[in-house]
Structure 1
């Protein structure tokens, strides 16, 4: 009896905020990329990996990611995994500048209400969700392959610019390692399609007072390229058997 043909590699959508992050990811994969226009965005296709600069902020990132997911589903080629990727601020001491973080929790850190007694997340107001959880086995495999730290990735609509806000976020989210603006939006779109989600970040600056002289964007982009080179075999061999978690 002939051996069964190996399963094809998963189809992966990588969503970054801006083109420079998308291009840093693309550098990890050899070969020319095909450009596929979508409403509001353009996909770069490299084999079974599609890359999209989804836009800055959770709303635009969610909309662009949902557009790509819907287009793939309508074409009969749905994705097996969505990856939110890019550079980010890192919370000291767990995520120093230049380090990598893979999220085991993608959290909307400022989705809720301010009250006289402090911040209430939207879940305590009786609505929605504030966190998504990537597949545990995939997070472990990527951490092992890339050396990334594992922790919570915070999504905010306003980037932190003071030590006081950084401290407040850490008090509410003690496992937080990164802060960025797109992960939760990307995760919401993936969850709506029942597709697992992952978030991978390279740290370009500390979370806290904005000191542009201390930012290392070029180094973080290079780390992002190196990370995707290392995790490519992990993604290609991963079997999407774990359901998306919320």
Structure 2
């Protein structure tokens, strides 16, 4: 990677991923060791480009490990200037967002935290959180399409569920960590931005049709532009 100062001038940014595959796709020079990265350690990126971390799938792992790492960094005299949550997501049908689009998620809530009524219907608990105001993001990320995210413990597997979740929460995309990561950063008074690329439509589950690698390539290009 060339000098990343143009897009990310602050050297204490933390790039946070759920999985080794997402981390290795954005920082391919670490591909050989990505599977050995543990969730309790900061990865100091070469070339004074800041830090990265692989936190694990899901709300619990992502929030717990990110909280630990931000606190641990402070104890080591490292002040994380901003966290960038990076990864893939599914787009809900009918929201005008397509596979391989890269979006900036400005608000997010948990989609399956609540209770079931006697008639079988679901009522959610309020859980909406907002990422740091877009005007504080790097300029090239401000230009990305804004989206409303939904964090879920169980991924959508049917068209009916996709439409129902999208309507209930007025959500555009689905993932498994965003609201947890944003909440952890808010608790630490740390700026946070979430950028995701769409790998699939969150509808009838068909992994064979997902474009995981292509989405990560699009994410890498959008986040780092020509500095790669």
Is 1:110 aligned to 2:106, yes or no?
no
TM-score (norm 2): 0.83
* Equivalent position SS for 1:41: coil
Q: Residue deviations 1:124-167, cap 9 Å, x none?
A: xxxxx43233322145834455xx32111111000000111111
* Equivalent position SS for 2:200: strand
The alignment covers a number of residue pairs equal to: 213
What is the match of residue 56 of structure 2?
Answer: 55
Is 1:205 aligned to 2:207, yes or no?
no
1:108–1:131 contact (8 Å) kept in structure 2: no
C-alpha separation between the residues in 1 aligned to 2:19 and 2:211?
16
C-alpha separation between the residues in 2 aligned to 1:114 and 1:199?
30
2:15–2:53 contact (8 Å) kept in structure 1: yes
What is the match of residue 4 of structure 2?
Answer: none
* Equivalent position SS for 2:42: strand
Q: Which of 133, 158, 167 in structure 1 is aligned with 2:154?
A: 158
2:135–2:142 contact (8 Å) kept in structure 1: no
What is the match of residue 23 of structure 2?
Answer: 22
Q: Which of 145, 152, 159 in structure 2 is aligned with 1:149?
A: 145
CA deviation after TM superposition for structure 1 residue 21, in Å: 0.5
TM-score (norm 1): 0.77
Q: Which of 119, 139, 144 in structure 1 is aligned with 2:122?
A: 119
* Equivalent position SS for 1:22: helix
What is the match of residue 44 of structure 1?
Answer: 43
Is 1:90 aligned to 2:91, yes or no?
yes
CA deviation after TM superposition for structure 1 residue 26, in Å: 1.7
2:92–2:163 contact (8 Å) kept in structure 1: no
After superposing the two structures, state which structure 1 stretch, 158-167 or 104-113, moved more.
Answer: 104-113
What is the match of residue 72 of structure 2?
Answer: 71
1:98–1:220 contact (8 Å) kept in structure 2: yes
Q: Which of 186, 190, 200 in structure 2 is aligned with 1:191?
A: 186
RMSD over aligned CA atoms reads 2.8
Q: Residue deviations 1:62-111, cap 9 Å, x none?
A: 11111110111111211111121101111234221111010110221222
C-alpha separation between the residues in 1 aligned to 2:109 and 2:50?
25
What is the match of residue 135 of structure 1?
Answer: 133
What are the ranges of 5 or more consecutive residues in structure 2 without an aligned counterpart? 1-8
What is the match of residue 227 of structure 1?
Answer: 222
